[in-house]
Amino acid sequence: MSKAVVSTLYDSDVFRMACRQFDQAADAINLPEEIRDRTKYPRRCIAVSLPVKRDNGAVTVFEGYRVQHNLSTGPSKGGIRYHENVTLGEVAALAMWMSWKCSLVGLPYGGAKGGIIVNPRELSPGELEHLSRRYMQELIGFVGPQQDIPAPDVGTNEQIMAWMMDTYSNHVGHICPGVVTGKPIALGGSQGRREATGAGVAYLVDKYLVDMKIPINGVSVAIQGFGNVGSEAALALSSMGAKIVAISDYTGAIYNAAGIDIKKALTYLQSERILKDFGGGEAISNEQLLETECTVLIPAALERVITKENAPKLKCRLLAEGANGPTTNEADRVLERRGDIEVIPDVLCNSGGVIVSYFEWLQNLQSFYWTRDEVIEKLHGILDRAKESVEYQKRKFKFGRRLAALTLGIARVAEAKQRRGLFP
C-alpha cells in the first residue's frame, strides 16, 4: 500500500505529537492501511489575511487559519484561538483531537479548529471586533450550522462569538444562531455552556477519585491556567469540598497550602485582568506549579507543558487534562513507566465543552431552549457513558487510558469513512 504524499504544511512539534498518538492508536487496533492516512490527515485548511484598521488610523494585517479535519461524520466543530504563538500546525493538531473527542463521546460532528496570530490583549475592544468580524467574513463559504461550527478557545469568549454570529447572520439575511456556539444566553447561548468544560473536568475528577477511593473533601488541587476552563474547574471543585492550592495565568502562579479563595481571585481578575499581585499566597512560577505536591493536577492552559523533563517530578496522584495536548509523547511514556499517576486524557477530560456546545446547537436548530438542570443532567449522562466505555476498552485490551480513549475515537471515524467509501 503506498503511503500518503504529505507536504510540510502542518509540520511542527505539536502536529507530529498528534500524528504519533494517531499512529500508536492505529497500530494498537490494527487499523487497515488503506484507511489510515485518510483518517489521519486534515480534510482541508483555509488561511486568511485579515486587515484591521487600528484606532490610530494605521492598518495591521493579521493571519488566521481554519482547519477542518474530518467532515465525514457531520459538520465539523471546534474552537477559535487568539494567541500570538498560533501556527497552522497547532491548529491542525487541535482539529485532529477534536475529531477523536467528538467521536469518543458520540457527537455527530467532525473536528475542526481555528486560530489567529494575535495577542488579543494588545487590541482595543473596537479593533478586536473588527478582527473577529473580518475573520468570519473570510470564512463565510466554509462555515455554517451544517458545515462547520466554531466556538471559543484560548483568547476568545462569548462576545467574540456574538460578533461572529452577527456577521454571518447579516450575510445570510436572517438570524442564524447555530453557526457558532459559546454565545451569550441573550443570543441563543445555552444555559451551562460557559462553565461546561471546567465543570465537566471537575465532574470527572470526582468520579475518578471515587474509583481511586480518595474522598474529594479536602483533596489538594493545582491548576495551571485560570481562564474559562481553569477557573470554572476551580469553582466547581472547591464547591465539592476540594482545596485549590495553586492557580496561575500567563503572568505567573500562586501557591497556598491552606487553599486559595477562588471567588476572591476571580473578583481580582475581573478588575485587574491578570493574577499578578493578587496575593492570597506565595508567588511561584508556572513550572513550579506543575511540580507542586497535590492530589490532582489540572493543566488548563496550553499544549506540551508536561515534558520528559518534568514528568518524573510530578507529585500528583491524578492528572486531569483540562487543556488540549498538555502531555508530550515522551512524557506519556515516563508516566506509564511510573505507573503511580492516573491520567484522564484530554479527549475525555475536557469534552464537557463540546458536549454542551452540541446542546446549544441543537437548541438553536429547534428554537427550543432547555433549563440548566436539563443541560447538566444530559451532560453528566454523556460523560458517564464516555468514561465507562474508556474504562471498558482499557480493561479489555490492557491499554493505557489515553490509548483506550484515542482508539475508540479513531476507530469510529475510520469506520464512518470506510462505510461511506471513497468518492471517485
Active site residues: 113
Site string for ligand NAD, 134-163 (x = CB under 6 A): ------------------xxxx--------
The stretch near ligand NAD (CB under 6 A) out of 69-77, 171-179, 220-228, 256-264 is: 220-228
| Residue closer to ligand NAD, measured from CB, 265 or 414 | 265
Shortest distance (Å) from residue 114 CB to ligand NAD = 12
248 in contact with ligand NAD (CB under 6 A): yes
220 in contact with ligand NAD (CB under 6 A): no
- Which of 409, 304, 337 is closest to 26 using CA atoms? 409
226 in contact with ligand NAD (CB under 6 A): yes
- Terminus-to-terminus CA distance in the chain, angstroms? 18
Shortest distance (Å) from residue 69 CB to ligand NAD = 15
Neighbour tally for 274: CB within 10 Å: 14
Task: Specify whether the CB–CB gap between 60 and 51 falls below 8 A.
Answer: yes
246 in contact with ligand NAD (CB under 6 A): no
353 in contact with ligand NAD (CB under 6 A): yes
By CB under 6 A, name the one of 132, 286, 364, 393 that touches ligand NAD. Answer: 286
C-alpha dist (Å) from residue 73 to 13, 110, 146, 205, 289: 28, 6, 11, 29, 39
| Residue closer to ligand NAD, measured from CB, 156 or 407 | 156
Interacting residues of 115 by C-beta distance below 8 A, sequence separation 6+: 64, 65, 80, 81, 82, 83, 86, 90, 91, 94, 153
CA distance 118 to 123: 9
Task: Specify whether the CB–CB gap between 395 and 360 falls below 8 A.
Answer: no
111 in contact with ligand NAD (CB under 6 A): no
Shortest distance (Å) from residue 423 CB to ligand NAD = 32
369 in contact with ligand NAD (CB under 6 A): no
Binding-site size for ligand NAD (CB under 6 A) equals 24
What does the DSSP assignment read for 233-267? HHHHHHHTT-EEEEEEETTEEEE-TT---HHHHHH
- Which of 165, 175, 188 is closest to 364 using CA atoms? 188
107 in contact with ligand NAD (CB under 6 A): no
322 in contact with ligand NAD (CB under 6 A): yes
- Which of 343, 301, 335, 338 is closest to 318 using CA atoms? 343
Shortest distance (Å) from residue 197 CB to ligand NAD = 4
* Helical segments of 156-213, H only: 158-172, 193-211
Binding region for ligand NAD (CB under 6 A)? 152-155, 197, 224-230, 248-250, 286, 300-302, 322-324, 350, 353
